[in-house]
Each structure stands twice: as C-alpha cells, then as structure tokens.
Amino acid sequence: MLFKVEMTIAIPDSLPAERVTEIKAQEKAYAQQLQRSGKWRHVWRVAGQFKNVSIFDVESHDELHELLTGLPLYPYMTLAIEPLCRHPSSIRDDDS
C-alpha cells in the first residue's frame, strides 16, 4: 500500500538545542533505515519550510501508523496522509 505523507515539524523553542540536535540525528538514522528497507520510498524537502513530502510503501494502515509514531520527531509533527493507487497511464513497473 502506498501513502503520501506530508510532515510539518514544529519544534518548540523551549526544547534545549542539544536535545534538538540529538533528536534530529536519531530521526535521520531511523529515516535512512526505513529507506534502505524500502518502506520509505521517497522523501522530498519542501523548500523554505521545515516540512517534507514522502511516499511510504507498507503492508497496512497499522504498519504505517507504527512507522510514523516511531519517528523521533513525531511528537512535533503535523501529518497529512493520503492513500495512493497506481494510475492507469503510468509507464513505471515499480509504482504499485
């Protein structure tokens, strides 16, 4: 199952800078692990914002929920999630 996930991050100013640096490092490692596994297929930064647009390829809604809530930045995120399906005009074999 493919999902488009928009993640908007708003870290409170009250969080110590050292903690923010630590969380961002954990987030990067976790995100790269998910990309290597094929679960997080694409990630794009939205220019000028602390936001990304990503494509996840998971077995179920529950798996998506588990992966997203496992993100170290999850407590500071607003998510917009949309299920995707293959377009009949697509020429790509790996987009289902």
pLDDT tens for 20-32 read 999 999 999 999 9
Ramachandran category for residue 38: left, alpha or beta (phi over 0 → left; psi -120 to 50 → alpha): left
Q: What is the pLDDT of residue 45?
A: 97
Matching CATH number, 2-84, of 3.40.50.2000, 3.40.50.720, 3.30.70.1060, 3.40.50.970: 3.30.70.1060
How far apart CA 44 and CA 22 sit, in angstroms, is 22
pLDDT at position 96 is: 61
Q: How confident is the model at residue 62 (pLDDT cuts 50, 70, 90)?
A: very high
DSSP string, 16-43: -HHHHHHHHHHHHHHHHHHHHHTSEEEE
Q: What is the pLDDT of residues 45-56, one digit of tens each?
A: 999 999 999 999
The reported pTM is: 0.91
pLDDT of residue 46: 97
